[in-house]
Chain A
Amino acid sequence: MADSPNTRHWRVLIYIVLFLFFAGISLLSTLYLAKTFYPREYDPLEMALQSMPATPQPGKPWWKRVFDFDRVPTDSRGRQGKNDNGAQVDRVGTGHGAPASNLSEEQLALREIGEAQVILRSQSGISETEALRRMRKSGIQGPFKSFEEERLVSRLLLVKYLDDQSNHQVLTKLKESAERAAKDPHASFEEAYYAGIACLLAGENDKAFGYLNTAIDTWPSRGRGYGNVFLFLMVSHAIRGESDTVIQMLGELKATYPDWLYVETYMPDMDDLEAVYPEATMIPMIKGFMYTIVLNFGEAEKAHHRALEAGGLDGSARDFIREQLDAIRRERDR
């Protein structure tokens, strides 16, 4: 019996709905496959630097605020002075610029925004684009503005690189940004240091040497930061094959590098640099010395023997290593 027109109408409608349903599933599955096997290459910092909206962005949409797990319960007494983070602001100290810096009020304000954003980013508090946007949203203007933005970008790239040190694309961008910041007239000891480290990790030791020398000459005080510059400058000398300088700096290491005791923290950096500069056989010599001063004689001997076997050392370096190995043997025999 043939279908009535009404039944046929409903059947057609059902088929259309089923068609759309299955077509939708097909499309979503295709998109998911594409996203899995061909993930989008997206660098938010570059895109943020290329184009920024002229007007301030709106705050969080309402549906995000509703499901915001960090939301602070409303104070029923309606206390004054609480900001958006639920904190009671007791006092804000303003005035002249920071004592040891020669930054203007406006530049220091922009610097403060940037530094706070870097710390928040390292705690996964914000994204890179949001950090740059918030800095620009402040509206602070001046000849220092492009420098402070570049400084922020290089710090954010550093945080990104520290999160994933296998990402060479980020390292390249970090190096470029750090160098631009270091060459700016507003640059200070910190910019020289970060440019030096980035160039060192990127295999450009000659550039790194220049930046690290600038950093150590302009560093404001001794301490942990100075010690780090000293350590990496010593490695840079080692890569250049300057054994006498390296041996002299090793003699000053304990006095200059406060973290010499914490081998686990800095030895991975030495391993990374050894991988970047495999021909620099004085790096294993440095590692051997560092293991010796923390009495890890086993690792010290391995590192020293590796340096000797790799070859390429001059007489001073070979003599130094032999003295170290003799000293280890004497300690063991005691």
Chain B
Amino acid sequence: MKNTSSYIDFSVLVDIISNVAGMMIMLACIALVVRQDRDGAEALEKATKPITYPLAYIPDKRSVTICLKNNQLYRLPERAGLETMITEASKGKAVHFVDITKDGVEMRLEVTPTATGYRFLYSILDEGGVPLDQSAKIADALRLMKKQFPPDRFFFVIHTWPEEVSAFVQIREFLHEEGVEVGWMPRTHDESDFDIMYSIGEYSTELSSIKAQ
């Protein structure tokens, strides 16, 4: 009597599935190539010319401000100020202003009189920024900013005090190599209470030109 024992030959199943998987992988690769082509074409369309002369044109991007003073690089703590305002206002009562200090910058965030926006007022302190003679830290800080503020949507504006002009030139060159557009504002030592001032959503007779914001 024959000893008949039957079993399922899973190798056939694996053959079928591996063929299907192979075809799917090929189609996924094609989709990836198509997607990259589309993104590349879009990126090319959105490419803008680099700034070669200051104030030559105003890019269709938002600006990010950094300051070079006291042999240090300072970031403005705009986000920290806004988050602090949200935290305080969430307690249920109106907040006229918040004063914070972060990374060597004192910031006052004030509500505008019409309650339609904010005034941003910054004072640069003597310490707390990234020392300009520590080039590795400077490069890391700038790369982090570039990641947070992508060059396709933001350009950097560097407020430069007289002693830091040579550092500004190097930093601008570095940012250009990273694909970031750079504008700048030469600054002088004056007696004003705040080093940087601007408003968003303020409607005032004093703010009569684009440079006021």
Binding site for B on A (CB under 8 A): 8, 11-12, 15-16, 18-19, 22-23, 25-26, 28-30, 32-33, 36-37, 69-70, 83-101, 103, 105-106, 108-113, 115-117, 119-120, 122-125, 134, 137-140, 163, 188, 190, 219-226, 258-259, 262, 264-265, 268
What are 16 contact pairs spanning A and B, CB under 8 A? A33-B27, A33-B28, A36-B34, A83-B87, A89-B84, A89-B99, A90-B106, A93-B95, A109-B93, A110-B89, A113-B89, A188-B116, A224-B203, A226-B203, A262-B58, A264-B58
Bound Cα distance from A19 to B17, whole angstroms? 7
Residue B127, interface by CB 8 Å: no
Taken residue by residue from 52 to 94, chain B's Cβ proximity to chain A (1 for < 8 Å, 0 otherwise) reads as: 0000011010100000000000000111111111111111111
Bound Cα distance from A241 to B101, whole angstroms? 55
Is the CB–CB distance between B206 and A223 below 8 Å?
yes
Q: From A2, which residue of chain B is reached at the shortest CB distance? A: B5
Is the CB–CB distance between B148 and A94 below 8 Å?
no
Bound Cα distance from A93 to B100, whole angstroms? 12
Residue B21, interface by CB 8 Å: yes
List the one stretch of B6-14, B156-164, B168-176, B185-193 in contact with chain A. B6-14
Number of residue pairs spanning A and B whose beta carbons lie under 8 angstroms apart: 234
CB distance from B145 to the nearest CB of A (A): 11
| B85-133 at interface with A (beta carbon < 8 Å) | 85-103, 106-107, 111-118
By Cβ-Cβ distance, the 3 closest A-B pairs, closest first, are A15-B10, A29-B24, A108-B94
CB distance from B130 to the nearest CB of A (A): 13
CB distance from B39 to the nearest CB of A (A): 11
Q: A8-B7, A108-B115 are in contact. Are A116 and B86 (CB under 8 A)?
A: yes
Is the CB–CB distance between A224 and B207 below 8 Å?
yes
Binding site for A on B (CB under 8 A): 7-8, 10-11, 13-14, 17-18, 20-21, 24-25, 27-28, 31-32, 34-35, 57-58, 60, 62, 77-103, 106-107, 111-118, 144, 147-149, 153, 200-201, 203-210, 212-213
Is the CB–CB distance between B95 and A32 below 8 Å?
no
Contacts of A139 in B (CB 8 A): 90, 92
Is the CB–CB distance between A83 and B83 below 8 Å?
yes
Q: Which residue from B13, B83, B85 sits with its C-beta under 8 Å from A19?
A: B13
> Other than the known A26-B24, A112-B94, what 16 A-B pairs have Cβ atoms closer than 8 Å?
A25-B21, A32-B28, A87-B80, A92-B95, A92-B97, A98-B112, A109-B93, A116-B82, A116-B83, A122-B62, A137-B90, A138-B89, A222-B205, A258-B210, A262-B58, A264-B57
CB distance from B123 to the nearest CB of A (A): 11
Q: A116-B82, A116-B85 are in contact. Are A221 and B93 (CB under 8 A)?
A: no
Is the CB–CB distance between B212 and A224 below 8 Å?
yes
Bound Cα distance from A268 to B77, whole angstroms? 32
Bound Cα distance from A32 to B27, whole angstroms? 10
Bound Cα distance from A163 to B152, whole angstroms? 11
Bound Cα distance from A32 to B60, whole angstroms? 34
Contacts of B147 in A (CB 8 A): 69
Q: From A163, which residue of chain B is reached at the shortest CB distance? A: B153
Contacts of B79 in A (CB 8 A): 85, 120, 123, 125
CB distance from A85 to the nearest CB of B (A): 4
CB distance from A203 to the nearest CB of B (A): 23
Q: Which residue from B35, B98, B115, B204 sits with its C-beta under 8 Å from A89?
A: B98
CB distance from B64 to the nearest CB of A (A): 8
Q: From A110, which residue of chain B is reached at the shortest CB distance? A: B89
Is the CB–CB distance between B118 and A119 below 8 Å?
yes
Q: From A91, which residue of chain B is reached at the shortest CB distance? A: B99
Bound Cα distance from A291 to B60, whole angstroms? 20
Is the CB–CB distance between A123 and B62 below 8 Å?
yes
Contacts of A123 in B (CB 8 A): 62, 78-79, 149
Contacts of B100 in A (CB 8 A): 83, 87-90
Contacts of B99 in A (CB 8 A): 89-93
Q: A22-B20, A22-B21 are in contact. Are A224 and B101 (CB under 8 A)?
A: no
Is the CB–CB distance between A97 and B115 below 8 Å?
yes
Contacts of A36 in B (CB 8 A): 31-32, 34-35
Is the CB–CB distance between B116 and A115 below 8 Å?
yes
Contacts of A70 in B (CB 8 A): 148
* Most-contacted residue by chain B among A33, A115, A163, A225 (CB, 10 A): A115
Q: A93-B98, A224-B210 are in contact. Are A108 and B13 (CB under 8 A)?
A: no
Is the CB–CB distance between A22 and B10 below 8 Å?
no
Q: Which residue from B57, B85, B113, B205 sits with its C-beta under 8 Å from A223?
A: B205
Is the CB–CB distance between A115 and B92 below 8 Å?
no
Contacts of A262 in B (CB 8 A): 58, 210
